[in-house]
Amino acid sequence: MGSFSIWHWLIVLVIVLLIFGTKKLRNLGADLGGAVKGFKDGIKDATTEESKPVETSSPPSPPPQVTTGQTIEGEIREKTRS
């Protein structure tokens, strides 16, 4: 009476299949598998972000110098008073 035998587990499995049906159990298994896969991917992404060295950014480059005879394209907007 300590542990259940294989026959006890088979009877429980049959009762669960009768109650929930195979389609619902299959969907539940697929959802559970997807959740576990997403969790593993999240853990893997988190560990790669921690081990990635911090990138130092270079200072922004100065704007290009305008020389005589050079055409500059742009847009002029008027300020509207509110």
> How high is the pLDDT of residue 2?
63
User: CA-CA distance, 46 to 39, in Å (whole number)?
Assistant: 11
Number of domain units in the chain: 1
> How high is the pLDDT of residue 75?
77
User: CA-CA distance, 36 to 46, in Å (whole number)?
Assistant: 15
Cα 15 from chain centre: 37
- Is 80 exceeded by the pLDDT of residue 80? no
pLDDT band at 74; cut points 50, 70, 90: confident
Q: In the structure encoding, which two tokens stand for residue 73, read together?
A: 């394209």
Q: What's the domain range around 27?
A: 22-52
Task: Look up the pTM and report it.
Answer: 0.41
Concatenated DSSP letters of 33-80:
HHHHHHHHHHHHHHHHHHHSPPPPPPPPPPPPPP-TT--------PPP
Domain assignment present for 30: yes
- Looking at per-residue pLDDT, the higher value among 29 and 70 belongs to 29
Q: In the structure encoding, which two tokens stand for residue 80, read together?
A: 């509207």
Domain assignment present for 36: yes
User: CA-CA distance, 47 to 32, in Å (whole number)?
Assistant: 23
> How high is the pLDDT of residue 82?
60
Domain assignment present for 81: no
pLDDT of 14-64, one tens digit each?
Answer: 998 888 888 888 888 899 999 999 999 988 888 777 766 666 677 777 777
